[in-house]
Amino acid sequence: MADLLVWLVAGPPSLGAPATIQSACSLVGHDLMTMAELDAALPDATWQAAPRSTDEPVPDTFWTVGLGSGPERRFSFGLNTELSAVQSAVSVANAVQDHLAGYEGMQWPECPGHQHPMAARIVDGSAVWVCRSEGRRIAEIGQLHTIA
């Protein structure tokens, strides 16, 4: 198996990872940094990525991507590097959101003025966070800091 690439959630992406993974992790990582509980949920949070093993019955365009705490991997999922940058950002956002809700019991990212998390969607060709109840666009993925 290829070497595991590891980089800080808030740091520059690993140059060995495909561009779509670098971009998606950077955008979602930025939004993760707006979460007050991040250090409690994922101390020393890192992105981790590696090409899928050739022994696995998947195309070689699939990589394993995940979040870890220091050297420990907390969860991972498969990501097809042939997806567009927008599709990759939504896929990574959904995977992280599912992990935090399922294992950490956190609603991330919180929807302003509501008791539910926002949903990652593609709207008009952009990866965005939308209000689940109103369907209203809140912010582009990677720009949660712009919310008032």
pLDDT tens profile 111-141: 999 999 999 999 999 999 999 999 999 999 9
**Highest mean pLDDT out of 53-57, 69-73, 91-95:** 91-95
The residue assigned the tokens 């520059």 is: 12
Q: What pLDDT is stored for residue 109 in this prediction?
A: 94
Q: Which residue has the higher pLDDT, 118 or 148?
A: 118
Round to the nearest angstrom and report the end-to-end CA distance of the chain. 45
The residue assigned the tokens 């022994």 is: 55
Grouping H, G, I as helix, E, B as strand and the rest as coil, residue 48 is strand
Give the bridge partners for 75, in sequence order: 67
What is the pTM (predicted TM-score) of this model? 0.89
Q: What pLDDT is stored for residue 32 in this prediction?
A: 92
User: Phi/psi at 137 (nearest 5 deg)?
Assistant: -70, 125
Q: What is the pLDDT of residues 14-66, one digit of tens each?
A: 888 999 999 999 999 999 988 877 777 777 889 999 987 666 565 668 899 99
Q: What pLDDT is stored for residue 1 in this prediction?
A: 45
> Is the confidence at residue 103, as pLDDT, over 60?
yes
The residue assigned the tokens 């990652």 is: 120
The residue assigned the tokens 């220091």 is: 70
Q: What pLDDT is stored for residue 41 in this prediction?
A: 75
Tokens of 109: 């990212």
